[in-house]
Amino acid sequence: MKIKGNWDLSSRMWLNRQINDPYVKLARRNGYRSRAAFKLLEMDDKFHLIKNAKRIIDLGAAPGGWSQALSQRSSDKAKILAVDLLPFDSLDKVDQFCMDFEDEDARRKIMDHMGGRVDLIVSDMAPPAVGHAQTDHARIMRLVESARSFALEVLEKGGTFATKIFQGGREKFLLESMKKEFQKVCFFKPKSSRSLSAEIYIVAMGLKK
């Protein structure tokens, strides 16, 4: 199926991609809020991040696709906090904070709510794309560095941090730097991530501190 009519080229391409995307169809069929849920599910299938995590934070959680996957795969006793500037429809087992995690007092509020340090932090955040690869890469690198700083402060020893990044060159230096902080760090490209997309994920397990 192809979209025609009074749409600009980029809008038609996006709509065609959405309509024909098998993961969009699969998300609707399985009741997921976004196709992004499958990226976290694939990550969990490979690295087993969720099952034994007792305290979990989902950064940039709206519209809730990753929080939904976390809710389904975590134990009944797990505590899950979704953090985003935007609210979304509630989910079982998931609390929400509508805040900027970079705010000065955000980390204290989050740790107070969670009752201590956490086992798992995941992030599918990305700044709005401007269409210039180097600029988009630099902008997400700044956001990832901020999420990394947050994770180093909030994670329990042995904890895991998984975040999205755009490929552009600097991600390799980030990975090598994070190897000093975590026992195992690697890149992961889910099958549900579009092949032409520059997005990739860094999975960092076993915080050393």
pLDDT in tens, 61-72: 999 999 999 999
pLDDT band at 14, cuts 50/70/90?
very low
Q: With helix as H, strand as E and coil as C, how does the chain read?
A: CCCCCCCCHHHHHHHHHHHHCHHHHHHHHHCCCCCCHHHHHHHHHHHCCCCCCCEEEEECCCCCHHHHHHHHHCCCCCEEEEEECCCCCCECCEEEEECCCCCCCHHHHHHHHHCCCEEEEEECCCCCCCCCHHHHHHHHHHHHHHHHHHHHHHEEEEEEEEEEEECCCCHHHHHHHHCCCEEEEEEECCCCCCCCCCEEEEEEEEECC
What pLDDT is stored for residue 23 in this prediction? 63
pTM for the predicted model, two decimal places:
0.86
Asked if 46 is an active-site residue, the reply is no
Average per-residue pLDDT in the chain?
88
> Domain 33-207 in CATH: superfamily?
Vaccinia Virus protein VP39 (3.40.50.150)
Kindly name the residue from 25, 164, 189, 208 that is annotated as catalytic: 164
What pLDDT is stored for residue 130 in this prediction? 81
Domain segments of the chain as ranges: 1-31, 33-207
Residues 91-109: tens digit of each pLDDT: 999 999 999 999 989 999 9
Share of the chain above pLDDT 70, in %: 88
